[in-house]
Amino acid sequence: GIILWKKNKEKQALLDKIDRLKKTAGSWPDSPIADFDPTTVITLDSFEEMKSRLRNRIVDRSLEGPNPYGAPSSFVDKVSDHLIDGFEFSTVIDKLSPFQHYKTVIGDVNLHFIHMVGAEEKRNRPILLLHGWPSTILEFHKSIPYLLDQGFTVVAPSLPCHGFTIPPTKPGVSPAVIATVYATLMRRLGYANYVVHGGDWGAIIGRILTMMYPDQVLGLHVTLNTVSMGPRFALQSIVGFVFPRLVYKTKGEEGFLHPISKLSERQYKGMAYFHAQSVIGEFYGYGMNDSPTGLIGWIGAIFPLASAEKAFEDVNEKLRIGLENFGLDNVCANLVVFWATRTAQCSMRIYHEFYWKDMDMYKQAFIKETPVAISNFPNEIVHSTRFASGDSYGNIKLFNYHDFGGHFSHIDNTEGVVTDLISFVSGL
């Protein structure tokens, strides 16, 4: 009786929160949609300033041998030297210029987004592409043309504080608030229904958005499969402890979930940045906004680290493999955007907002009827089985495993992630 009372109380609190969020969104005044030119922000002057500071960087030499500490000085030097002497500024512009960019104000968010209209017969299924941290809109520079070639309409907003969506002036812009901002954007563009795709924070925001607006979202496709630890997860853990090969289909699933007694240790090691940014992200954010060296050492290292196989304990080896997968130019292009917009520091606030305001909401975000697709990549930072995913999703239509790719699959396995997305949307 007590357990049932507690669950009903939590459910009512969730419904009350959704109602408040929707009422707040309903009070937001309409704002015009204006053309936006990214090159007014990403300028050659800002790039030259970045290079000038890197030429005078001060970097402590890392210890010799295997490195368990973080980004080594050799990595910082490699990226710095490439930005100074090898990287072409035009690379960033070439990734941005093929698309139509816009800005509009929604609530307290001065939102940047890409909007590309596809073939008329497919305009009833626009796709909302959502990225996460520490990514920028550049993540989709290869995927958007792929989708446009298939006739799909694409809307891709920049996550607040990640490049061209400038920092809000007030606290409280949590994933749930961002979900209402994105839903408002789609209505403002005239789309009553749409498909949501997301990775990292895009997957989390997408799941919240789908729960809040099931009448609008035609389907949800995610690449980061974080699920609630419900009864299916518990049963899987018990059976998997005895018969791991029977339960876990890939090395990624078995390595992350088995044995369950080690899960907390693996999460502590792999998610330390999450806890730090949930509590003290602002502390070391100053170093990234003021120093491109600091930016390289933290955000710059995340891209390759999240693109390499998790079996490597040596950070040096993970960075080497991850750079091959993600690409040095792609790392530099994102760093140039963060530097020019000075949004690295505030990009970490979403962790605090989620941890302290939306965590309970996300845990209860069960998507019962809306069709869901999940693409699994071996180098993703977390893994879950199809069976355990039933604790969070009740209508899984597609659950695909891929042979390669990581946390940024739009970069290192564009064809795989986009093929899954097109297949899913075409079947709705």
pLDDT in tens, 263-297: 666 666 667 778 888 888 788 889 999 999 999 99
Helix/strand/coil (H/E/C) assignment for every residue in 363-410: HCCCECCCCEEEEECCECCCCCCHHHHCCCECCEEEEEECCCCECCHH
Q: How confident is the model at residue 313 (pLDDT cuts 50, 70, 90)?
A: low
pLDDT of residue 253: 73
pLDDT of residue 394: 94
Q: Decide which of 364 and 176 is more confident.
A: 176
Residue 130 has pLDDT above 90, yes or no: yes
Q: Decide which of 63 and 86 is more confident.
A: 86
Q: Roughly how many angstroms between the first and final C-alpha of the chain, as a whole number?
A: 40
155: helix, coil or strand?
Answer: strand
pLDDT of residue 71: 86
Q: How confident is the model at residue 259 (pLDDT cuts 50, 70, 90)?
A: low
Q: Is the separation of the CB atoms in 165 and 350 below 8 Å?
A: no
Q: Decide which of 247 and 36 is more confident.
A: 36
Check residue 300 and report its DSSP letter: I
| Residue-wise pLDDT tens digits, 72-117 | 899 999 999 999 999 999 999 999 999 999 999 999 999 999 999 9
The one-letter amino acid code at 265 reads E
Mean pLDDT of the chain: 90
pLDDT (average), residues 113-123 = 88
pLDDT of residue 230: 79
| Residue-wise pLDDT tens digits, 399-422 | 999 999 999 999 999 999 999 999
Residue 248 has pLDDT above 60, yes or no: yes
What are the CA-CA distances from residue 428 to residues 217, 221, 240 (Å)? 11, 12, 33
Q: Is the separation of the CB atoms in 21 and 212 below 8 Å?
A: yes
Task: Please state, in angstroms and rounded to a whole number, the distance separating the CA atoms of residues 96 and 109.
Answer: 21
pLDDT (average), residues 31-49 = 96
- Contacts of 289 by beta carbon, 8 Å cutoff, 6+ apart: 342, 344, 345
Q: Where are the beta strands (DSSP E) in 36-188?
A: 101-106, 109-116, 127-130, 154-157
Beta bridge partners of 112: 103
pLDDT of residue 361: 87
Quote the pTM value: 0.94
Beta bridge partners of 379: 406
Q: Which two tokens stand for residue 117?
A: 């209209």
Residues of the chain with pLDDT > 70, as a percent, come to 95
Residue 261 has pLDDT above 70, yes or no: no
pLDDT of residue 382: 84
Q: How confident is the model at residue 208 (pLDDT cuts 50, 70, 90)?
A: very high
Q: How confident is the model at residue 348 (pLDDT cuts 50, 70, 90)?
A: very high
Q: Is the separation of the CB atoms in 415 and 145 below 8 Å?
A: no
Q: Is the separation of the CB atoms in 116 and 99 below 8 Å?
A: yes
